[in-house]
Amino acid sequence: MSRNRRETVAALTGGIIAPIVASGPFVLAAAAKTSPQLSPQEAQAIAKDIFLWGMHPVAIYHLRYNAAKKADRFATTPNATTLYGIGFYDLSKEPVVITVEEVKDRYWSIQLADNYARWWHLIGSQFNAPGPVRRLLIGPDWSGKIPQDFVGAEVVRSQSDMMCVLVRVALTDDTPDELKAVNAVQDRMTVISLRQWIAAGKKNVKAEDVPLTKAAYPTYPGMETVREPGRLKGDDFLRWASLVLNDASFTKQADGHKEIEAFA
């Protein structure tokens, strides 16, 4: 029996996902109605496949939905020697501009990740010290005009429309003066849409001055109660996997046989 991954999620949940999802072009309900009954062995094999595939995408989806808090203990947090900044961006409509003014005598880094938690681009003091640095990040299918302000290696094409930006700046102690100094460094870093960057006169913009854009991706009631995606089990994990599969900004990789087969 051959099913793509969307159909297998629906078959495993018996169609329970579609009614609880608040938005998005969900195809799971229809698939569930037309899928034959699964045997226990087939259901177990499919669930294992979905879990192994979905661990990182579900974790990234959760991180985007639930803003990081000081009590969080995922990955390498907390980190007593750096201050973090994090943001998620959809590159499907337009590029994003990253600018960093000169930073002397202090470690800093900006890492970019996709929806599979693959860290695919890194800038920072160990590569670009002391700066300044600028990047134009464009989506995999974007074909607009690249401004003349960006040339060569300053233009970077993402492998996914969903981009996670993680900023770290070194902290030497926890005194008010040191925190103020680190915050000043953070204020000299801009992550903003190309349109907003041009409107701002192509200058650095503090984070608090960047207009917020309301996110529009699939959700379901009760998501806010999930604090640790690594503890999701059974139907709860499949709910999150269904959100990933139905979010257009989560670009599906096309460089592996299993991935191509799953989304055929």
Alpha-carbon span 8 to 27, nearest angstrom: 11
Q: What is the per-residue DSSP string for 100-119?
A: E----SS-EEEEEE-TT--E
The pLDDT value recorded for residue 156 is: 95
What is the model's pLDDT at position 216?
78
Q: What is the pLDDT along the chain (264 residues), one digit of tens a residue?
A: 455 555 666 555 544 443 333 333 333 333 444 455 778 888 788 788 888 888 889 989 988 887 666 666 666 666 778 888 888 999 998 999 999 999 988 999 999 999 988 899 999 998 877 789 999 999 999 999 999 999 999 999 998 999 999 999 999 888 999 999 999 999 889 899 999 999 999 988 887 788 777 777 888 888 888 888 888 888 888 888 888 888 888 888 766 666 666 555
Q: What is the pLDDT of residue 174?
A: 85
Q: What is this structure's pTM?
A: 0.79
User: Domains (ranges, CATH) in the chain?
Assistant: 5-66+226-262 (no CATH), 82-209 (2.60.40.1610)
Supply the pLDDT for residue 201: 92
**Beta strands, E only, the chain:** 82-90, 96-100, 108-113, 119-124, 133-138, 155-157, 162-170, 189-193
Residue 149 CB neighbour total at 10 angstroms = 13
Q: How far, CA to CA in Å, does 111 sit from each of 19, 90, 107, 118?
A: 37, 16, 13, 10
Task: List all residues 6 or more positions away from 155 whose beta carbon is below 8 Å from its beta carbon.
Answer: 135, 136, 138, 146
Residue 12: the pLDDT is 56
What pLDDT, on a 0 to 100 scale, did the predictor assign at position 30?
35
Res 28: pLDDT: 38
